[in-house]
Amino acid sequence: MRQSNPTQTLTTLGVHFRAGTRAELVSLVRHHYRTTLPATACAIRVATICRRRRERVIGVAVLSWPVPLLAARNRHFGTVGYRNCLRFANRNVRTVSRVIVHPQFRAAGVAGELVRQLVRRCTTRYVESSTRMGAFAGFLIRAGFVELPARPGEPAYFLRDRSIRRPRRGAHRA
């Protein structure tokens, strides 16, 4: 059985994606388990629908500068020392720090498409995400991230290497 393309499903729902603002992030933050805002934002993407000639924000994703001392990342890349970790992270990594989808539109592919769009526009080789809600982060795996081992008590850690080409969703494999 052939999988349907989630972007086609989103198109039939009338979902549009564009650059977003901090105010649009604030409008959905109450639907996230962390109600504080990320400290930094390199890029914000939003998903909207238009109903009765009014645009409604239904999802938002934030790409941020990475924190320098993230244990799982530093173990994976072998970086040691605050300055080395900071230098490596700032040059090579950006972090998906929030993905929020309004509850009415969850499981429709909105989160995955928001993340894919952030990754496509990112200028660094690596994009990461660290979350305590790892069991609910399947959209990251579907967006090409790999879950790396984390120690007990650490948040789940996901990494995407943009230099590795992935087959397009729905493409036939030989």
pLDDT in tens, 87-118: 999 999 999 988 888 888 888 888 889 999 99
Tens of pLDDT, residues 155-164: 899 999 998 8
pLDDT attached to residue 172: 47
Note every long-range contact of 29-32, with CB atoms under 8 Å and residues 24 or more positions apart, other chains counting: 29/98, 29/100, 31/100, 31/101, 31/102, 31/103, 32/98, 32/100
pLDDT attached to residue 149: 87
Q: Which residue has the higher pLDDT, 151 or 173?
A: 151
What is the distance between the alpha carbons of residues 173 and 33, in angstroms, rounded to a whole number? 38
Q: Is the pLDDT of residue 85 over 50?
A: yes
pLDDT attached to residue 2: 40
Tens of pLDDT, residues 111-137: 889 999 999 999 999 999 998 876 678
Whole-structure pTM value: 0.80
Q: Is the pLDDT of residue 170 over 70?
A: no
Average pLDDT, the chain: 83
